[in-house]
A and B are shown apart, each in its own frame.
Chain A
Amino acid sequence: MKVLTGNDLKTGDVIWWTGSGWSRHVDDAVDVGAQVDEILATEEAARRVNVPYVTEATREVDGSVRPAHIKDRVRALGPTVRPDLSLKPKDPEALDWII
């Protein structure tokens, strides 16, 4: 699937398009299909997202979303060297998910 991501304009946080808005959690991301241009026109005008782009991902059997590129997986979770600052500080498997 193709997911839409960018950074929150105000905070810089990594955000993912959920179909109706933005979430910091990649698992909330939806397939944007052919609507990208439409979404971007509204969202950029609304000043909610900065430097948005579309990237490849897969939805796993458990419903979670896994970006295809390691860079997007690092973005989705946080620096691998500071798990304490990641979105899942208590998940011991988070690092394996990135790599």
Chain B
Amino acid sequence: MYQYDQYDQAMVDARVEEFRDQARRRLDGSLTEDEFKPLRLMNGLYLQLHAYMLRVAIPYGTLNSAQMTALANIADKYDRGYGHFTTRQNLQYNWIKLEDAADILADLAKVEMHAIQTSGNCIRNISSDHFAGAAHDELVDPRPYAELLRQWSSFHPEFTYLPRKFKIAVVAAEKDRAAMRLHDIGIQIVEKDGEVGASFYVGGGMGRTPMIAPMIRDFVPLSQLITYAEACLRVYNRYGRRDNKYKARIKILVHELGKDEYTRQVEEEFAHMLEQGVEPPIDELERIKPFFADPAFEDGVKSVDRSDPDFALWVDRNTHRHKHDSYVSAVISLKPVGGIPGDATGDQMRLMAELAKQYSFDELRIMHTQNVVLPHVKIADLHALWTALDAAGLGAPNMDSIEDMIACPGLDYCALANARSIPLAQRISEKFDASGKTEKLGELKLKISGCINACGHHHAGHIGILGVDRKGIENYQLSLGGSEAEDTSLAKITGPGFTEDGVIEAVDKVTDVYLSQKEGEERFLDTYRRIGMTPFKEALYDKA
């Protein structure tokens, strides 16, 4: 894992003290809310429905046990004993007091964490593959590149006031586990003629105008990675629509200019910048890489004893093939039946930290699906790990099933919401679990957002649900056919919306259509793509 050098630490420490002073001035009245709001947002502090909310950055979703423990202790000391892991691999606290915020940031800084650039119109936390450095199918570990991008984008003076927020994802496998093409920039580390470089996808996003990022360059040499990213941002910074918040994301610029014209401008800027030599020395990448070196893997057993069927099911569902054949990556589900997706208590976080220390070389990852990964678990240790998890309510065997849904905080917490998301998630998981249907459905990605901002990725759900406000009553639109994997697609709305009960029934009906029409090993998404929307619509809306 990357460790702060003296510059990183000094910057973060200085920022804590700066914020302490700003908060003090807000509390003593020297700053108005209008003056203070941009300052607090630069430090991840929002005001939500019930209290202040603090969003903590977890760079590319990687953290160690000490960091997870610190997050747990903050939850217990300053919040109400829990936190919420988000689709951008971060953590949010829901019940923060302004009086405590600087102390929390100081506690975070002690374990090399912060909340900088988790809000505002800047380059946000870089996201990545949660199995990075462990997956059997990756070309290289994408995290050194993500870290290089993190360093470049932290406090970058030119990109502190972009037209709008900016999100970057980096992956290095054919399989996209980071929704790469739904980011402002998606970078895929690839190999061409024996050389490692990057493909750039620019202009994806969700929100009210979802778009899939087109590829604008299939190969950028690693020695020019930052320069190319900077060229992409410069063109955006210059021409992005600052006049209209809803048109300010880079996706709109790329769409309005057209991919070819945007690319032409980027290439022109890039050529110009190459002459100026803005690329950090390649030595920096070489300095970063050893932090992500493989831990000392040992050979061991390569299969588990399957005599306990509950354990065998968990292994089948919640482990992922590792590059070392005596190891797997284990997914800790934060989706217990009827639970709140992505929430974990302080005790659960401490336990996960402890288990990471014991079984996974001190490392954890946050998934964009709001779960936690122990990336390097010896197959020989799996049973002991599962036993400990299960006892703490963390053993749900449901990865990628309908019960493993993403749900944003919705109207239970979020000031922008139209409708609640979490109760839907809870009721659907209870219903499908009780009827045993989850098992039959296999991989089915359900994603729920409480408003058009799409924090819950509903556009990318095999089944998506969007909460809308219908004359003051919660109402839900259903959509089908989205994906955020390597086969990225945007879901289409089925038709008129539903009540809360109605949409749960609707999910039941569309899954029935799938089960009756499914051919061979097809997933829900495959069947939908083959048969199209009509049979689903008929099942949902035909009165007959």
Contact = CB atoms under 8 A, between A and B. Distances in A.
Interface string A2-31: 000001011111100000000000000000
Nearest to A46: B29
Contact of A80 (B52, B80, B412): B412
Interface in A79-93: 79-82, 85
Interface stretch (B115-123, B178-186, B239-247, B417-425): B417-425
Interface stretch (B43-51, B69-77, B166-174, B296-304): B43-51
B523 interface: no
B50 A12 contact: yes
A11 B411 CA distance: 20
A99 B472 CA distance: 10
A81 B29 contact: no
A10 B27 contact: yes
A7 B99 contact: no
B370 to A, nearest CB: 15
B420 A80 contact: yes
Chain A contact patch, size range:
20 to 34
B324 interface: no
B97 A14 contact: no
B33 A14 contact: no
Contacts of B33: 50-51
Interface string B316-353: 00000000000000000000000010000000000000
Given A47-B27, A50-B47, A12 B52 contact: yes
A36 interface: no
A74 B340 contact: no
A10 B26 CA distance: 9
A9 B37 CA distance: 12
Could you say which interface size class chain B belongs to?
A: 20 to 34
Interface string B90-120: 0000111111000000000000000000000
Given A12-B97, A71-B417, A81-B426, A7 B411 contact: no
A80 B27 CA distance: 30
Interface in B11-29: 26-29
Contacts of A51: 33, 47
Contacts of A13: 50-51
B474 interface: yes
Contacts of B26: 9
A78 B340 contact: no
B49 A75 contact: yes
A interface majority secondary structure = loop
A59 interface: no
A71 B98 CA distance: 22
A49 to B, nearest CB: 10
A23 B413 CA distance: 20
A40 B501 CA distance: 41
A61 B473 CA distance: 23
B51 A81 contact: no
Contacts of B29: 45, 47
B51 A11 contact: yes
A79 B423 CA distance: 10
Nearest to A81: B422
Given A14-B50, A45-B29, A79-B413, A9 B98 contact: yes
Interface string B30-69: 0001000000000000010111100000000000000000
Contacts of A71: 49, 411, 415, 417
28 contacts: A7-B47, A7-B52, A9-B26, A9-B98, A10-B99, A11-B97, A12-B47, A12-B96, A12-B97, A13-B51, A50-B33, A51-B33, A51-B47, A68-B472, A70-B472, A71-B49, A71-B415, A74-B49, A74-B412, A75-B50, A78-B50, A79-B413, A80-B420, A81-B412, A81-B422, A82-B340, A85-B80, A85-B95
Interface of B: 26-29, 33, 47, 49-52, 80, 94-99, 340, 411-413, 415, 417, 420, 422-423, 426, 472-474
Given A9-B27, A71-B49, A74-B412, 19 more contacts: A7-B52, A10-B99, A11-B51, A12-B47, A12-B96, A13-B50, A47-B27, A47-B28, A51-B47, A70-B411, A70-B473, A71-B415, A74-B49, A79-B50, A79-B94, A79-B412, A81-B426, A85-B80, A85-B95
